[in-house]
Amino acid sequence: MKLTVLGCCGPYPAAGGACSGYLLEEDGYRVLIDCGNGVLSRLQQHLKSWELEAVLLSHLHFDHTADLMVLRYALDYARARGLRLRPLPLYSPSEPASEFRRLLYKELFEPVPISAGETLSLGPFFLTFLETIHSLPCLAMRIETEKGVLVYSGDTEYFDGLAGFAAGADLFLCEANFQEEDMAQSPANHLSAAGAARLAARAGVSRLLLTHFHPERQLALSLEEARKNFAAAELAQEGESYRVAR
């Protein structure tokens, strides 16, 4: 399994960067996880957008969905020229309903509601979902193949259930929007790098890949705070690919 980081900022991109978006590949099957601002441009460095098998959304905040609004124009182009004949499956929480309906444009997407506790098979990938603690309904994803296990946190506060959900993962892709200085103010909706690392340690994962960085934070400090709790922590790098394997 190969994970390519297309964007790793939130809630807005750093200069020259992109918001949340991850390309997951195995055996020629390619899925996009989240599609924030700037992701479509990066995606096209790897494949044409209409060559995707599916899109998965953790939730419907714009820093995870904004480029869907222009991806649909690319799909419209492809359909008109016979490059893609069927709608692109789009798996997403169905709330807020108004945002879910916004995705229904010329039947270019095939929206499929997903929720916690469901299972999903996409090509070589077997997925399960866990609801996180966020301001909108948001799903963490556990993605398994015969070769490895990836867990993606989505956006969330710290809660013990996420450690159990991520247990034994080969790679834990976890948001780290805050730093310890921020946590003194008891902020809502997101994790600190140290909190992500504590979850990784409790889950017994092999590697922790921190993501969803606030563009105004010093990432060296985020990494330092994480490694105090989990030595195998890394910062996601836009454009880099990571092997997920046992």
Taking the CA atoms of residue 7, residue 14, residue 67 and residue 96 in that order, the dihedral angle to the nearest 10 degrees is 100
**For the whole model, what pTM was predicted?**
0.97
> In this predicted structure, what is the pLDDT of residue 102?
86
21: amino acid identity, one letter: G
> In this predicted structure, what is the pLDDT of residue 104?
83
Query: Using 50, 70 and 90 to split pLDDT, how confident is the model at 239?
Result: very high
List, for residues 9-60, the tens digit of each pLDDT value: 999 999 999 999 999 999 999 999 999 999 999 999 999 999 999 999 999 9
> In this predicted structure, what is the pLDDT of residue 105?
84
Rounded average pLDDT over 222-244: 98
> Does residue 213 have a pLDDT over 90?
yes
Q: What is the mean pLDDT of the chain?
A: 96
Residue recorded with tokens 């299972």: 119
List, for residues 87-114, the tens digit of each pLDDT value: 999 999 999 999 998 888 889 999 999 9
d(CA 81, CA 142): 36
Specify the CATH class of 2-243 in words.
Answer: alpha beta
Q: Which two tokens stand for residue 226?
A: 């994480």
* DSSP conformation letters of 46-80: TS-GGG-SEEE-S---HHHHTTHHHHHHHHHHHHH
> In this predicted structure, what is the pLDDT of residue 106?
86
List, for residues 65-84, the tens digit of each pLDDT value: 999 999 999 999 999 999 99
Rounded average pLDDT over 154-163: 97
Rounded average pLDDT over 186-212: 97
